[in-house]
Amino acid sequence: MSEITLGRFFFERLHQLKVDTVFGLPGDFNLALLDKIYEVEGMRWAGNANELNAGYAADGYARVNPNGLSALVSTFGVGELSLTNAIAGSYSEHVGVINLVGVPSSSAQAKQLLLHHTLGNGDFTVFHRMFKNISQTSAFIADINSAPAEIDRCIRDAYVYQRPVYIGLPSNLVDMKVPKSLLDKKIDLSLHPNDPESQTEVIETVEKLISEASNPVILVDACAIRHNCKPEVAKLIEETQFPVFTTPMGKSSVDESNPRFGGVYVGSLSKPEVKESVESADLILSIGALLSDFNTGSFSYGYKTRNIVEFHSDYTKIRQATFPGVQMKEALQKLLTTVKKSINPNYTPVPVPETKLINTPAAPSTPLTQEYLWTKVSSWFREGDIIITETGTSAFGIVQSRFPKNSIGISQVLWGSIGYTVGATCGAAMAAQELDPKRRVILFVGDGSLQLTVQEISTMCKWECNNTYLFVLNNDGYTIERLIHGEKAQYNDIQPWNNLQLLPLFNAKDYETKRISTVGELNDLFADKAFAVPDKIRMVEVMLPTMDAPANLVAQAKLSEKTNAEQ
């Protein structure tokens, strides 16, 4: 057993990185490869209902996986192209998806055979070329000797850059042998070291700014999560006691039960006290920023200070000076060794805004509103929850909630592909099964978005993801679009479904369904101790008024319509 097949080598590499579920669908150019999954103990083939959903599931899995990685296997042409939307989303949002495609045999490629799943023109590299636009790196493997190194290079880049990578693997190479000893040397996952001189200059300048600041704040965004800097951020808060805020995409990057957490900053769409706190600061330590429109209230940041330090995954910026290659993880670790001493001795921790987490009392028969739901929901969350919110009312509503300790928030604020969360929930739930089956995975999705990817609930049923709660916010169509344009337009309507029939349709084993429409029903549900125990798949259809929406979404929609019409 000094040799193993290349196919097995690939899966052993995934297993070493705790990527133990592989998403995708079978196709005739990947079948022989799929055989190899079962040779690696502890690995499983998810077998999704379609490729787009598989891509979303892989993205969701990576956001829960300890290394921020996941894997997909699809087939040439018809399989892989259905992944482009999901992979572009992972690229956009910094998610490390290893995207392997089973392609026709070297011989068929050399002969330019007019195979099925081709464009009929003998071009076997066209799909690879398309994927290069949305991948950090790629390999179209042709030679068994270099294949292991090519696979390792792609996996390393997926980790280091937290972006998708593409591997094309011809069907005839899968069973070829490579030395087993290659597995003994683990893939190098070290980040590129910062240039010491640049880093020293960064640390000194930051410490000088800190020493002069009387009202500094920390603002944490998505890349702090994606590039695994949550521990450094937690330490920075502890050491400095500066008020900390997140962006919408940065939610769950910090412990929101920490008394120094001040809320979510979204520029002009922030709550007034949050806006005031952030914008009146005299120093902003920004970590992992991704300044997209929906993440910034349409670019409405209004800092009064010019003292801004931006820590990024590939550079640091201090005021107007850029330090290329000074990446945040190492820089923050270095800063943490001395930051405490640099704080102005006269600095008194300024108070942080409070978040309203209790609703104004209402009669039980009062119709439920988005405002009531998103205020109430924080009390039901518990430590370790994985909270997933769909682009639409949910992604905006969740901003006003308070997350529990060790929670993971998943929301596609930048890419914003509707339907994403149903697939992502499947992936996150399978990742949670591997880490701790008692962790709850809680989805909030609208009735419109649900329709795009509904069949992935079937995969959750297949794998008995009894840790999932599917809250379907039924507001009769695409409310987010109605707010932007066409409130009464027929194109924002959808065919109504009997959503609570979905779990029996998909042959769920242990399940529970409920429909709620009043304040009383919501309160009862969240007071029910049995409901809180993740021991079955649950779907709750939450009936809400069509044009009811979180206030921040209403404001964002107006800004978006304006941008769309601008010449």
User: Any idea what DSSP says for residue 349?
Assistant: P
**Amino acid occupying residue 546:** T
> Would you say 129 or 208 has its CB closer to a copy of itself?
129
- The interface region with a copy of itself, picked from 153-161, 397-405, 493-501, 511-519 by CB under 8 A, is 493-501
Tokens at 276, concatenated: 């005031």
Residue 421 binds to a copy of itself (criterion: CB under 8 A) = no
Instruction: Figure out which of the listed residues 166, 245, 294, 381 binds a copy of itself, where binding follows CB under 8 A.
Output: 294
Instruction: Figure out which of the listed residues 258, 497, 514, 554 binds a copy of itself, where binding follows CB under 8 A.
Output: 497
Residue 393 annotated as binding site: yes
- For the bound state, the minimum distance from the C-beta of residue 290 to a copy of itself, rounded and expressed in Å, comes to 6
Residue 489 binds to a copy of itself (criterion: CB under 8 A) = yes
Residue 119 binds to a copy of itself (criterion: CB under 8 A) = yes
Burial label, 500 (beta-carbon count in 10 A; 0-12, 13-18, 19+): middle
* Strand, helix or coil for residue 221: coil
- For the bound state, the minimum distance from the C-beta of residue 340 to a copy of itself, rounded and expressed in Å, comes to 34
3-state SS, 463-491, equals CCCCCEEEEEEECCCCHHHHHHCCCCCHH
The Cα angle at residue 359 between residues 353 and 361, in degrees rounded to 5:
140
> Would you say 190 or 567 has its CB closer to a copy of itself?
567
Q: Which of residues 527-566 bind a copy of itself (CB under 8 A)?
A: 560-561, 563-566
Catalytic residue annotation: 28, 51, 116-117, 416, 447, 475, 477, 481
Q: Which of residues 1-60 bind a copy of itself (CB under 8 A)?
A: 26-29, 31-32, 34-35, 37-38, 45, 47, 49-52
- The interface region with a copy of itself, picked from 4-12, 125-133, 192-200, 547-555 by CB under 8 A, is 125-133
Pairing assessment for the beta strands 44-45 and 21-24 based on DSSP bridges: parallel
Kind plus residue range of the DSSP H or E element containing 523? helix 519-527
Which residues are bridge partners to 140 per DSSP? 168
Tokens at 19, concatenated: 């990527």
Kind plus residue range of the DSSP H or E element containing 152? helix 147-161
> Would you say 295 or 378 has its CB closer to a copy of itself?
295
Q: Which of residues 499-528 bind a copy of itself (CB under 8 A)?
A: 501-502, 504-507
Instruction: Figure out which of the listed residues 300, 455, 517, 518 binds a copy of itself, where binding follows CB under 8 A.
Output: 455
Task: Report residue 168: phi and psi, to 5°.
Answer: -95, 120
**Amino acid occupying residue 174:** V
Residue 447 annotated as binding site: yes
Instruction: Figure out which of the listed residues 12, 15, 67, 105 binds a copy of itself, where binding follows CB under 8 A.
Output: 105
Kind plus residue range of the DSSP H or E element containing 138? strand 137-140
- For the bound state, the minimum distance from the C-beta of residue 338 to a copy of itself, rounded and expressed in Å, comes to 33
Residue 448 annotated as binding site: yes
Residue 137 binds to a copy of itself (criterion: CB under 8 A) = no
Tokens at 37, concatenated: 């999954």
Pairing assessment for the beta strands 441-446 and 386-389 based on DSSP bridges: parallel
Instruction: Figure out which of the listed residues 16, 67, 172, 517 binds a copy of itself, where binding follows CB under 8 A.
Output: 172
Pick from 421, 371, 441: which is nearest to 400 by CA? 371
Rounded-to-integer distance, Cα 274 and Cα 255, Å: 17
CB 198 within 8 A of CB 31: no
Residue 414 binds to a copy of itself (criterion: CB under 8 A) = yes
Residue 108 binds to a copy of itself (criterion: CB under 8 A) = yes
Give the annotated binding-site residues for Mg(2+): 447, 475, 477
Give the annotated binding-site residues for pyruvate: 28, 117, 481
Give the annotated binding-site residues: 28, 117, 393, 416-418, 447-449, 475-481
